[in-house]
Structure 1
Amino acid sequence: MAEQILILDFGSQYTQLIARRVRELNVYCEIHPFNKIPEITPEIKGVIFSGSPCSVKDEGSPDLDIDQFRGKLPLLAVCYGAQLMAQKYGGAVTPSEIREYGRANLNYIDTHVNLFKEITHGSQVWMSHGDTIKDLPKGFDVIASTPSVKVAAYKVQGEETYGIQFHPEVTHSLEGKNLLRNFVVQTCGCSQDWTSDVFIDISIEELKNKIGDDKVVMGLSGGVDSSVAATLIHRAIGDNLTCVFVDNGLLRKDEFQEVLDSYQHMGLNVIGVDAKQKFYDALAGLSDPEEKRKAIGRAFIEVFDDEAHKLEGVKWLGQGTIYPDVIESVSVNGPSATIKSHHNVGGLPDFMKLKVVEPLNTLFKDGVREVGRALEIPENIVGRHPFPGPGLAIRILGDITPEKVRTLQEVDHIFIQGLKDHGLYDQVWQAGAILLPISSVGVMGDERTYEKVVALRAVASVDGMTADWVHLPYEFLGKISNDIINKVKGVNRVVYDISSKPPATIEWE
């Protein structure tokens, strides 16, 4: 088993970002809720406490026994974690006299301690906390300050135990990655050997041992996650893997045949299933987003069950679940509020009688892409924008009809192909078009029209947890709008979505 860093989550919005930064150092790490700590094995080389939206002064705020780590493993406590440790050992944590949020500069650094080796005087960091550490416990030393925060960082005497009141994982902390490297590599002694090639070798060996001579059925979507997962499973068990690619009537224009062709060139055993009518029937009359997602999920399961019964000896279902899906389904205080259903988390109905295999459930999206490139999967699949599991059903606001799908497919095709033709596709993390349930007045020729409105959405992101709208050139947007209105019957108005996540989600439903 690979050496690892254990990250204990107190509920911070930045916890996944800590893990991604550690992974970027080629060091394996896992996130666990603070109240569900795994067994501490020799592979665990250090521990990081995350921040939290809570205050240590709140009744019922996250708490744990820190003595199980102090002096036994290197420990880095971030923000809330640093305040919790200071308070538990006799320090004073009080509400901040001034709001400590945003950029700050370290005007004092003790560069003799490992954590701040080669960090420059005046280094910019990102603060985000309502409390502050007023007084440190005995045996705790200040090792960094800002003009307004005396205890920006501290170290426990005689231990590799640190607390910092800023967030090194966010890009606004300009030397944050160096600080994390100092902790993970210099202090914890991690060897930085967790690479894509190592992951592939370990995964294939584990899949061979787990699956043996059993057969696996797997649904493909055309996206990077399911494609990389299928390729790994295929490398392990060969033709004992059968893949199913379902045309649910909600794919992009011509996508069914194009994706099938791509998979066959990759040597995968793929069955294409035309189930458009089944999905349209399941969605008939449904407008609520969650109802649409659930109807699509049920229909997928029925199609998979039918296909699995046609195959002999199938015992496993392969899935492209990735690490954020897993983390989001296990929050620090039980299941988090449902923003939208994950189509590939939550298990299978009992009647399917299949065990689940998820070879990517420890990877973030960027890690999946790296593994895909190491497996030499074609770039048109590895670099493909994320596409929602329910497809165009959640980009058509309101009920679903084949006519609406065809309209949106044409709009989406013009937009996505335009991004590719103008060299903009790879500058965008995800893009798509949304068919709105409203009509607007327009003029074509000398006639009044009353036709549909479509919205275009293009965002920049790293992992989809946060996203900002992309400032596409006005000339490009003007051309695309003109092409859509002239070429797509029934559309007479195009708008561009300039909302960021949060507060808006990437998809409209």
Structure 2
Amino acid sequence: MILVVDFGGQSNQLIARKVRDLKVYCEVVPFNKALNSIEEKKPTGIIFTGGANSIYEEKAPKIEKEVFECGIPILALDYGTQLMVQALGGKVKKVDRIEFGEVNLNIEESVLFKNIENGNVVWINNVDIIEELPEGFKSTASTKNSKIVAMENIEKNLFGFQFHPEVNNSKYGKDMLANFVYGVCGEKADWTMANYAKTAIDDIKKKVGDGKVLLALSGGVDSSVTAALLSKAIGNKLTCIFVDHGFMRKNEGDEVEEAFKDSGMNFIRVNAEDRFLNKLKGITDPEEKRKAIGEEFIRVFEDEGRKIKSVDYLAQGTIYPDIIESGVGDGAVIKSHHNVGGLPDVVDFKDLVEPLKMLFKDEVRELGRELGLPNYLVDRQPFPGPGLGIRVIGEITKDKLDILRDADYIFREELEKAGLSKDINQYFAVLTNNRTVGVKEDIRTYDYTLALRAVETTDFMTAEWSRIPYEILDKVSRRIVDEVEHINRIVYDITSKPPATIEWE
């Protein structure tokens, strides 16, 4: 396996995903757990991420020097490279003008540049630059403005890039990573979902034994794939509980029930809208919302588990980005996920079963196909566990949810009619807490502003806002204002990820 050591960069998940695209297993660990993780996991290679800090900042992340002496190949990126230089006796200096964006790379002979075209474009974002290399290193690439943007010490298998090979702007970035993973670390391309399915099924059987499992089934991609995997592993010892918390999209609760009630699984629907609304009364902070929803989920499952009796395990469709973004393991918290950081400490189950917790979204889809699930299910758009609860800004009420459901339905319907639903990877409406003045039928209104969000992405770790044609946006806007009460203004979110997240909360 390859270990990605995270120094707070925005692309920690993207680096790991690119390595997995090479069919090599990879995990992300925070910088302050690096040495312990290396000793425990024994990786064949290590990649340092970039970071938001300057190496000279007082609270800039550091790492034990022993990491460089463990004999394992290391590829450092951006901040990670500057850290390597400083730790090993070189010099880094601040720059007056930040080098940012696409630049042409002038390369010299290096194992990492094997079969790479000279002058190719890479993406760079430097706050500090290398002034003097550590002993034993040589420069292997430069740009117009920087003499050293790549370095290596072949004897110690230490490498550094001052640019970002993981982003799509770097033309041969994936090939450079492949040269490190295959050529330097000696890895083989054997990380496949077929192998993962076999291992996961065996692990579930060993863990569960004769016990019974409750699964939180939302009908989304993650929980559906989890259901299929658990069903193959333990059969009728699995009970799927669909909690309709009242935060589903229009007609979605009934659609989920229709899809799974005759599937051969033990399926239970719990209508808990009033319970969740009461729990969230007066809460406006998005993190508190997520945690409250997560805790109430567990309480519902405990109640249903007592009715079934002798339930031992709670299963969840937790995936790897949920864990990373929730800051588990001292990582930086981007947002708490209801099935990770939001879980209370005390539950009435022996343990959790989370067979997807080391997979990225596109790997989950691939696993679903491997398990025989239909494409319409595995290709379904992501829908957050808290549902519309985090698409209603401010306090959640039944009236606000109903307004959002109707508006969101129109937006999705018009995109499907226009044939754009397959080109846009995720699209939805957000009911903001802002009210503005408008005019409807010659009468002054003071109603909600609705935001529309649509993004295009391959991995959901980075995303570009979708350029929906104006005439379609115009039609959507007119329909929503005409057909949905209490909305008098529509705005379109044109922010990519990063700096924004896909969801607003």
**The two structures share one fold, judged by TM-score above 0.5:** yes
Q: Partners of 2:347 and 2:335 in 1: how far apart? A: 25
Structure 2 residue matching 1:238: 3-state secondary structure = helix
AA in 2 matched with 1:132: I
- Which one of the candidate residues 448, 473, 476 is aligned to 1:480? 476
Structure 2 residue matching 1:427: 3-state secondary structure = coil
Change (3 A) 1:475 1:178: same
Q: Partners of 1:360 and 1:65 in 2: how far apart? A: 32
For the pair 1:308 / 2:309, whether they are aligned, the reply is no
Matches within 5 A, 1:209-358: 209-264=206-261, 266-330=263-327, 334=330, 336=332, 340-346=335-341, 347-358=343-354
Q: Which residue of 2 aligns with 1:120?
A: 117
Contact 2:311 2:349 in 1 (8 A): no
Q: Partners of 2:134 and 2:42 in 1: how far apart? A: 31
How far residue 399 of structure 1 moved from its aligned partner, in angstroms, is: 3.2
Q: Which residue of 2 aligns with 1:396?
A: 392
AA in 2 matched with 1:261: E
How far residue 60 of structure 1 moved from its aligned partner, in angstroms, is: 4.8
Contact 1:215 1:315 in 2 (8 A): yes
Worse-superposed segment, 409-418 or 179-188: 409-418
Structure 1 residue matching 2:409: 3-state secondary structure = helix
Q: Which residue of 1 aligns with 2:149?
A: 152
Question: Number of residue pairs matched?
Answer: 501
**Structure 1 gap segments, 5+ residues each:** none
Q: Partners of 1:297 and 1:271 in 2: how far apart? A: 19
AA in 2 matched with 1:343: H
Q: Which residue of 1 aligns with 2:405?
A: 409
Q: Which residue of 2 aligns with 1:36?
A: 33
Q: Partners of 2:274 and 2:10 in 1: how far apart? A: 41
Change (3 A) 1:506 1:328: closer
For the pair 1:373 / 2:376, whether they are aligned, the reply is no
Q: Partners of 2:395 and 2:370 in 1: how far apart? A: 42
How far residue 203 of structure 1 moved from its aligned partner, in angstroms, is: 0.8
For the pair 1:109 / 2:108, whether they are aligned, the reply is yes
Q: Which residue of 2 aligns with 1:89?
A: 88
Q: Which residue of 2 aligns with 1:50?
A: 49
Contact 1:214 1:240 in 2 (8 A): yes
Q: Partners of 1:340 and 1:85 in 2: how far apart? A: 30
Q: Partners of 2:452 and 2:66 in 1: how far apart? A: 53
How far residue 29 of structure 1 moved from its aligned partner, in angstroms, is: 0.8
How far residue 191 of structure 1 moved from its aligned partner, in angstroms, is: 1.0
Q: Which residue of 1 aligns with 2:77?
A: 78
Change (3 A) 1:282 1:195: same
Give TM-score, length-normalised by structure 2. Answer: 0.92
Structure 2 residue matching 1:93: 3-state secondary structure = strand
Change (3 A) 1:459 1:106: same
How far residue 171 of structure 1 moved from its aligned partner, in angstroms, is: 1.1
Q: Partners of 1:329 and 1:402 in 2: how far apart? A: 28
Contact 2:107 2:113 in 1 (8 A): no
AA in 1 matched with 2:204: L
Percent identity of equivalent pairs: 48
Contact 2:31 2:63 in 1 (8 A): yes
Worse-superposed segment, 355-364 or 58-67: 58-67
Contact 2:456 2:464 in 1 (8 A): yes
For the pair 1:362 / 2:358, whether they are aligned, the reply is yes
For the pair 1:471 / 2:467, whether they are aligned, the reply is yes
Q: Partners of 2:396 and 2:154 in 1: how far apart? A: 64
Matches within 5 A, 1:445-464: 449-464=445-460
Structure 2 residue matching 1:83: 3-state secondary structure = helix
Q: Partners of 2:397 and 2:59 in 1: how far apart? A: 49
Change (3 A) 1:286 1:52: closer
Q: Partners of 1:351 and 1:18 in 2: how far apart? A: 35
Structure 2 residue matching 1:214: 3-state secondary structure = coil
Structure 1 residue matching 2:422: 3-state secondary structure = helix
AA in 1 matched with 2:223: S
How far residue 467 of structure 1 moved from its aligned partner, in angstroms, is: 3.2
AA in 1 matched with 2:219: G
